[in-house]
A and B are shown apart, each in its own frame.
Chain A
Amino acid sequence: MKLIERLAHIDRRILFLLVALAVIIPLLVPMGLPVDITKPVQDIYNMVESLPERSIVVVSADYDPGTEAELYPATEAFLEHCFRRNLRVYMIGLWPGGTTLANIALNEIAQKYNKVYGLDYINAGYKPGGQVMLLSLGRNVADVVRTDHAGVPIDSFPLGRAVKAARDMSLIMTLSAGDPGVLHWITYFRARYGTPIACATTAIMAPQQYPYISSGQLIGILGGLKGAAEYETLVKRKGRAVAGMDSQSIVHILLVIFIAVGNVVLIYQKRKK
C-alpha cells in the first residue's frame, strides 16, 4: 500500500522523464514494428494511382512549423507519389509558414525525379483570405494568384497558365493543421466546384474529418504521423514517419499504463475513505 501512496504523489518530472525515454530509446534502437494500412489512407493512394499522367494536383500547405513533425513527412510522401506518377504539382498555402516549409520538400523531391520548375511543379505561395480566397480561386485563379512564391508572374510559367480555375485541378491535397484548412476546402471548394479533396491532418484533428469521409466529401485522410507512416509504406519511402512509429507506439503504451495506474490509485483512495 505504501507504493500506491507514493504513486499518488509522484513528482510529474518523473512522468516527463519516462515519456522522454519512451521517445528517445526506440529512435536509437528501432524495433521495426509492422505498419498496417487503413482504408482512408489506401483510398488516397488509389485516387492518385487512378489519375492520368500530367494531371494537376493542388497541394495546399495549410500548416506551420509547430506541426511540422506530423505534416512534413506526409508532405514528402505525397509529393513523392505525385512525381513518381508523373503528375504536375501546384502548391499553395492558406498559412503563412506552410509554403516556405513545404517548398523544401517540393524542391528536394522534384530534383530527385528531374522535374522542371514552372513546367512540372510550381509554388504559388501563401494566399490570405481563407474561405473567400478559395471561392475566388475556384472561379478564376488569376484573381488571387498573380505571382509565384518568389514574386515572379505566374503567367510566365506553363503550369501557371494551365491552371485557370477549379476545372483544371484533378485533386486537392490539403495538409491541414487547423483553421483555415481542410474544413474550408470541403465547405467552400468541394461544395461549389466539386473537385475531389483529400487531406493530411494532425492526429488531434483526424476524428473530426470522418463524417466528411462517410458523406463522400473527402476521399481519405492521413491522420497524424501514423497516416504519414502508412503513406510512406505504400509509396515505399523510408521516411521520418515510419521511423517515428516505434516511439509513438511505446509512448501510447506508456500513456495507457499511466491511465491504469492513475485509476488504481483512485480506487485505493476511494476504499481508504
Chain B
Amino acid sequence: MIKRYLPLIIVFSCGFFMIIAFFIPLRWFQNTSQTLQNWYTGIINFFVFIGILNLARVNLEKIVKKRTDFGYSIVLLVFLLLMMVAGFFMGGTGGRAFLYMFNNFQVPLSATMFSLLAFFVASAAFRAFRAKTPEATLLLVAAVIVMIGRVPVGYWIWHGFPNVVEWIMNVPNTATKRGIIFGADLGLISMALRVLLGIERSYMGGGKE
C-alpha cells in the first residue's frame, strides 16, 4: 500500500503546491517553492552520476561477454576514464590535459558526426523529395525558395529573395507552428493534470507491489 500511494501523495502535494505558490507572492510560499526547486537541482546532479554508472555497466557487460563491436565499448570506457581523471585530478575542466582531449578529440569527432548530415540530406533530396501529391509539391516549392533565399546566392540572383523567405517564415510558418505549439501545450497541461491526480502512473514503473 505504502509503495503504491506514497509516490502519488508526494507528486500530488508537491505538484499542486508549486502551482499554488506561483500565484501567491507570500514569503513562506516563495521560500518553500525555492527550496523545492533547489532540491530538484541537487537531484539532477545524481542523475548524471547514475547515467555514468549505467553507461559503464552496459559497456563493461558488452566487453566481458565479447558481444558484437565490443571494441568500441573499450574505446568509450578508456576515454571516459581519461576525461574523468583529467577533469578531477589534473586541473579540472580548464586544465591542459582536459582541454587538449576536448579540443582535439571531442570537438572534431562530434563536428564530423554532425557534418555527415549534409551528405545524407543530399541523398534524401535526390531520392525522396518528390512532387507526388499537390501537398508535397507545395512543400517542395516552399523548400526550394527557402533554400535559395536563405543563402547569399539567392540575394545575388534577386534582391527580393530574402524578403520572400522572411514572409514564408513569418506568415505560413508562424501560423502553422503556433497551431502545433498550442496543440502540444494543451496536451502537456492535460498530461500534467493526469500525473498530478494519479490517473497516469506509468512513471512509477510496472513492477509488482
Contacts and interface: CB of A to CB of B under 8 A. Distances in A.
Contact of B122 (A16, A128, A211, A263): A16
Interface stretch (A43-51, A78-86, A156-164, A244-252): A244-252
Given A97-B106, A132-B41, A210-B169, A140 B34 contact: yes
A250 B153 contact: yes
Nearest to A134: B37
Contact of B107 (A101, A211, A245): A101
B89 interface: no
B40 to A, nearest CB: 5
A39 B165 CA distance: 12
Contact of A263 (B41, B118, B131): B131
A64 B110 CA distance: 8
A112 interface: no
Interface stretch (A54-62, A66-74, A166-174): A66-74
B76 interface: no
A254 interface: yes
Interface string B35-76: 001101100110010000000000000000000000000000
Contacts of A23: 118
Interface stretch (B4-12, B171-179, B192-200): B171-179
Given A129-B44, A135-B37, A250-B153, A255 B147 contact: yes
B147 A256 contact: yes
Q: Majority SS of interface residues in chain A?
A: helix
The size class of the interface chain B forms with chain A is 35 or more
B93 A100 contact: yes
A153 interface: no
Interface string B152-168: 11111001001000100
A68 B118 CA distance: 15
B167 to A, nearest CB: 11
Interface in A93-110: 97, 100-101, 103-104
A254 B121 CA distance: 11
A251 B44 CA distance: 42
A23 B116 CA distance: 12
A128 B125 contact: no
Contacts of A226: 150-152
Contact of B162 (A36, A206, A229, A252): A36
A101 B45 CA distance: 21
27 contacts: A16-B122, A19-B119, A19-B122, A33-B153, A36-B159, A65-B109, A65-B110, A66-B110, A97-B106, A103-B94, A125-B93, A129-B41, A133-B44, A140-B34, A144-B41, A149-B94, A151-B92, A211-B178, A211-B181, A226-B150, A249-B153, A252-B150, A253-B148, A255-B122, A259-B126, A259-B143, A263-B130
